[in-house]
Chains A and B, each alone.
Chain A
Amino acid sequence: MQKNNSKSSVAKAFSGIFRNQLFIPIAALLLLALFNFIMDPSFFAISFGHNSAGNPVLSGRLITILDNGSELAILAIGMTLVTAASGGQDISVGAAIAIAGSVILRVLCGGQVSPEHLQAPIIVGFLAACIVAMLFGAFNGVLVAYFKIQPMVATLILYTAGRSIASWINNSQLPIVNEPKFGYFGGLIPGIPIPTPFIIAVICMIVMALVLKFTNLGLYTQAVGINESSSKLNGLNPKFIKLLSFIILGLCVAVAALIKVSRVSTINYSVVAKDIEMDAILAVALGGNALSGGKFSMPASIIGAYVIQFLTTTLYKFNVRADALPAYKAAVIILLVVLSAPVVREKLSSLGKKLKSGTRVKEVG
């Protein structure tokens, strides 16, 4: 009896693992890691050295992944909330990054193309970007929550206009920041060998984790996403919660924009954060969150974001051209999504059963 029990509990634990939302993104991550390990173990080498400025620096592909995946991970946080609350996605985050980045440069350069000194403290520029990005988030949120327009369509407006607005803010100029301190956010802080973007991303994650733990944001968002009318009768204000999720995403956008413009100390309106909205949505989906809203898992989305970055870095390593990258990415995405589709899983499990029973019959025969 006991043996049986322990067996079934093992089976239960296994099926629990399979059913866990984190299973797919983690499995994907491990699969990618394994692939790279077989192809070239040096992929995982991390070396410690000093860069040209004499600062200590960690380097290696894993560090690159953590560094470059930061913006995506930060966006995935906000996108998860928006998806859960509104049952739709914000496709304007790339354009919004262009706007927020443009605002930062406008404030820091004060309208000049390449000023010798900063015209305003960096924090002022960042706060201005936060406010602007949250306002645009609120614009999307109002369209979705109060005018009841589907999120993808509502954010299509800003997607179309965003990069134009960004270029309008700086009068079509491309300002350059000459202050080395500004580069810290997208590069390294002297004395700390870990890339700053990753540190910022971790701070965002911790803040979000604390918010989810010490407020009811998670419960409310899920309740609204699953059943709006019922939430309303339970005293919630579904419209406000949807709006809130878009505003939080706006904040994430501002942080990502700071990293983006800091990396290059300037901006290219039509290229900055291009297609990042697609990656962010993908991160949410890879995390096993239903794109139709409702229940969500924040860690799963964040791991999803790093899976995408891992994939990108892997492809670069195999000398895939940057503009051909999407084709390979697409193939991998489809593979992952197909494998995680409930229909496919069901079929596979029934196939497995059939095979098992088939072998048993053979044994008997």
Chain B
Amino acid sequence: MFITLEAHQYARYPGLLDRMFKLRKEVFSDHLGWSVTVTNGSEKDRYDDLGPVYLLWCDDDGQRLYGSMRLMPTTGPTLLYDVFRGTFPADIDLVAPGIWEGTRMCVDEKAVSLDFPELTPLDAFSRLLVALCECALHHGIDMMLSNYEPHMRRVYRRAGVDVDELGRADGYGRLPVCCGLFEVSPVVLDRMREATGITDPLYSKSLSIEQPRAIGLAA
């Protein structure tokens, strides 16, 4: 299932978040060789201290993590602006309510292949992208800024996402890192569903043990 965790919920799911920071270390530091801060086997930066929203792909019990992404509003401090300021100061500083940045998007390929043997790593990425689109749409976000390595553009395209590259920065990892913008709308979601063949809704907002309940005053 795909859920969001916000700052007021962090304390309830320490295991999931710990695993996410470890996964980020495995993906961004070990695998992609990005110059990110690693402490005690976890990749965590100052933006994680600002109470961001995490989109997590986990099992129904919230025990196993398959993928994650960090979401922050562009009206606040953002990583992409800080990272790309040196190279493309002007072109990626988009600021508006409704435009959010998504960073540290990653998939635990091992966990996915264990529990979803039918999914290739590319399929897994597509699922995360569709869930991201559903999540953004649900919360009234209409545009996403995101960073990715050049070859990932193909993965976005494959998932039906028309991502516009706004700039790229060298010296962050072995490959340049691109910054791209894409639209979120019901039309885009339809196109993604068609491209990926994923028709069932993926995003379920929160773990079932804390399904929202209406405030009842009848008593």
| A, B from the same assembly | no
A residues contacting B by CB (< 8 A) are: none
